[in-house]
Amino acid sequence: GQSLEQPSEVTAVEGAIVQINCTYQTSGFYGLSWYQQHDGGAPTFLSYNALDGLEETGRFSSFLSRSDSYGYLLLQELQMKDSASYFCAVKDTGGFKTIFGAGTRLFVKA
């Protein structure tokens, strides 16, 4: 079967750094993506890793280790507006389907 595991909740202080981990077990793998979803809104695409290593996009970075079936999203200089749910997602072989994790709710405190 296919499954993605990520923590259900994370709390951090404004200005801090937080890491959201994701482990996956899928029948095929084409890349690991991260999405952000604010309450009541639609998910928005943040980052994508097809190869091992770190990808940086502004305050957000994403890491992938294919041998460990593991990745993480790193958020730096946290802001209150970063309070949202973050989903890791795996594209299956062929790249047509994306399976999402259950999401991590991030609470940023002042």
Partner 1 sequence: SQTIHQWPATLVQPVGSPLSLECTVEGTSNPNLYWYRQAAGRGLQLLFYSVGIGQISSEVPQNLSASRPQDRQFILSSKKLLLSDSGFYLCAWSKSGPGYTFGSGTRLTVV
62 binds partner 1 (CB under 8 A): no
Among positions 45, 52, 80, 93, the unique one binding partner 1 when judged by CB under 8 A: 45
DSSP character at residue 51? S
Closest CA to 98 of 48, 61, 62: 48
Q: Are 97 and 1 in contact (CB under 8 A)?
A: no
28 binds partner 1 (CB under 8 A): no
Centroid of chain to Cα 83: 14
Nearer to partner 1, 75 or 88 (CB): 88
Give the footprint of partner 1 on this chain (CB under 8 A). 31, 33, 35, 41-45, 48, 50, 87, 89, 91, 96-103
